């Protein structure tokens, strides 16, 4: 067996396995809400340290297509109620993938693998999170039909993460399914969205390319001399259209590039951040300029905007900080507070349909 033995530990009455777990955003939300997670599975080895160091549970490095139903059943052990989470990588479904056919399901096999495991394990509750465009793909319809054929009650909707305490305008498709009755996400927990100022306003000031001595993730990428002039000419909430003519990039002078108004932009202090992406550390990759400091946001600021605690460790103390790797881990994560809302929904559902001692 490739799985680690449980070592005689008592399996909680209700527990979860997190497929495509990444750096642990969803798992951390579950842990904070008291919903135990037995393990996270992901094929990316760079996820192991942040996942295990912050969540006190095991990371299994494995391609989901190689995971057997029996492996998951072994993991769940004697748990009375099983929760299976599966937030498949969203890039195939994003707007950047529009050049692919919506009906070419070979591109989206991971969601089919999730459906295979769900059918083989038949957990009590299933949850999935992805970008809104996933619903336009045949594979999503197939996934829902599979669950309905297995007599799950299925709910899904596009959720605004800012309504659940995420300081970011991140819209996500959330699906919940249960064998035991109707289930849906809890009502919004935040009437007033959390702002950039509330999230990162207290962090130490940095210059472009500077590293904080007290936090190796509070580091910003360097900027060329021209980009220093560009960010100084940028207004919070504005765009490259605010610049003097000599600073405008050639790609923005042509018709195809003139519509990309959000690149080279600053965030606004008193609004939620824009959607954090895998390239959020780059000033030219979106509206990722700091609201007032002449630099892009740091990796730590990006992680906080994704809801990770300020002390969430992504690399060992002696490890090199790789912007590309850590940007990917942070940008791909399920926002922690959205994970908390999903966990709250599952707990509320199980306690209402089964009993008050479920979790």
Model pLDDT, residue 257:
45
The alpha carbon dihedral of 15, 12, 120, 329 has a sign of positive
For residue 260, the model assigns a pLDDT of 56
pLDDT at 331 over 50: yes
pTM of the model as a whole:
0.91
Is residue 270 predicted with pLDDT exceeding 80?
A: yes
Architecture, CATH, for domain 14-193+334-353: 3-Layer(aba) Sandwich (3.40)
pLDDT in tens, 80-99: 999 999 988 755 544 444 44
Query: Who's near 61: CB < 8 A, 6+ residues apart?
Result: 42, 43, 44, 45, 48
356 band by pLDDT with thresholds 50, 70 and 90: low
Mean pLDDT score of the chain: 89
For the chain, what's the residue count? 359
Average pLDDT over residues 191-212: 97
pLDDT of residue 254: 59
| The pLDDT value given to residue 262 | 66
Q: What is the CA radius of gyration of the chain?
A: 21
What is the residue extent of each domain of the chain?
A: 14-193+334-353, 196-331
For 196-331, CATH gives 3.90.120.10
Question: What local confidence, expressed as pLDDT, does residue 103 receive?
Answer: 47
- The pLDDT confidence band at residue 263, using thresholds 50, 70 and 90, is confident
How many other β-carbons are positioned within 10 Å of the β-carbon of residue 66?
11
Residue 6 has pLDDT above 50, yes or no: no
Mean pLDDT calculated for residue range 36-50: 97
- Among this protein's residues, is 251 annotated catalytic? no
Which residue among the candidates 47, 87, 90, 280 is catalytic per the annotation?
90
| Cα angle for residues 276, 281, 286 (degrees, 5° grid) | 55
- pLDDT at residue 267 tops 70: yes
- Res 7 pLDDT > 70: no
Bridge partners of 174?
129, 157
The predicted pLDDT at position 9 comes to: 45
DSSP class of residue 242 equals: G
286: left (phi over 0), alpha (psi -120 to 50) or beta: left
pLDDT, tens digit (0-9, with 9 covering 90-100), for 138-192: 999 999 999 999 999 999 999 999 999 999 999 999 999 999 999 999 999 999 9
What is d(CA 171, CA 168) in angstroms, rounded to the nearest whole number? 9
Residue 243 buriedness (CB in 10 A; 0-12 / 13-18 / 19+): buried
Cα 102 from chain centroid? 23
Is the distance from CB of 265 to CB of 193 less than 8 angstroms?
no
Per residue in 95-129, pLDDT (tens digit) is 444 444 444 444 568 899 999 999 999 999 999 99
On whether the CB atoms of residues 154 and 160 are closer than 8 A, the answer is no
Query: Over 70: is that where the pLDDT of 344 sits?
Result: yes
What is the percentage of the chain residues whose pLDDT exceeds 70? 87
Mean pLDDT across 34-50: 96
pLDDT digits (tens, 9 = 90+) for 282-330: 998 889 999 999 999 999 999 999 999 999 999 999 999 999 999 999 9
Q: How many CA atoms lie within 13 A of 276 on its CB side?
A: 33
196-331 matches 14-193+334-353 in CATH topology: no
DSSP symbols for 277-300 = -TTTT-GGGSS-B-SSSSSBPPHH
């Amino acid at each position: 067996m490739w799985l680690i033995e449980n070592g005689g530990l008592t399996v909680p009455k209700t527990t979860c396995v997190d497929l495509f777990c990444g750096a642990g955003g969803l798992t951390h939300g579950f842990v904070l809400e008291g919903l135990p997670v037995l393990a996270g599975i992901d094929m990316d080895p760079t996820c192991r340290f942040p996942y295990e160091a912050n969540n006190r549970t095991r990371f299994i490095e494995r391609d989901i297509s190689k995971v057997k139903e029996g492996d998951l059943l072994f993991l769940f052990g004697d748990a009375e109620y099983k929760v299976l989470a599966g937030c498949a990588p969203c890039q195939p479904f994003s707007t950047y993938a529009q050049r692919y056919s919506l009906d070419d399901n070979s591109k989206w096999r991971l969601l089919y693998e999730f459906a295979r495991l769900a059918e083989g394990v038949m957990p009590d509750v299933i949850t999935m999170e992805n970008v809104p465009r996933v619903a336009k793909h045949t594979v999503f319809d197939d996934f829902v039909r599979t669950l309905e054929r297995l007599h799950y009650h299925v709910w899904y909707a596009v959720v605004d993460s800012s309504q659940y305490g995420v300081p970011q305008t991140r819209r996500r498709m959330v699906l919940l399914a249960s064998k035991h009755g109707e289930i849906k996400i809890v009502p919004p927990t935040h009437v007033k969205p959390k702002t950039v100022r509330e999230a990162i306003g207290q962090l130490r000031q940095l210059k472009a390319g500077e590293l904080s001595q007290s936090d190796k993730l509070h580091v910003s990428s360097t900027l060329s001399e021209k980009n220093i002039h560009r960010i100084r000419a940028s207004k919070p909430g504005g765009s490259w259209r605010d610049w003097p003519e000599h600073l405008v990039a050639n790609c923005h002078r042509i018709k195809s590039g003139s519509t990309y108004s959000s690149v080279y932009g600053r965030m606004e202090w008193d609004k939620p951040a824009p959607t954090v992406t895998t390239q959020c550390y780059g000033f030219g990759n979106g509206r990722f300029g700091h609201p007032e400091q002449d630099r892009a946001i740091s990796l730590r600021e990006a992680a906080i905007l994704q809801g990770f605690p300020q002390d969430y460790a992504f690399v060992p103390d002696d490890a090199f900080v790789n912007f590309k790797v850590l940007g990917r881990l942070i940008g791909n994560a399920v926002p922690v507070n959205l994970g908390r809302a999903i966990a709250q929904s599952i707990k509320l559902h199980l306690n209402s349909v089964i009993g008050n001692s479920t979790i």
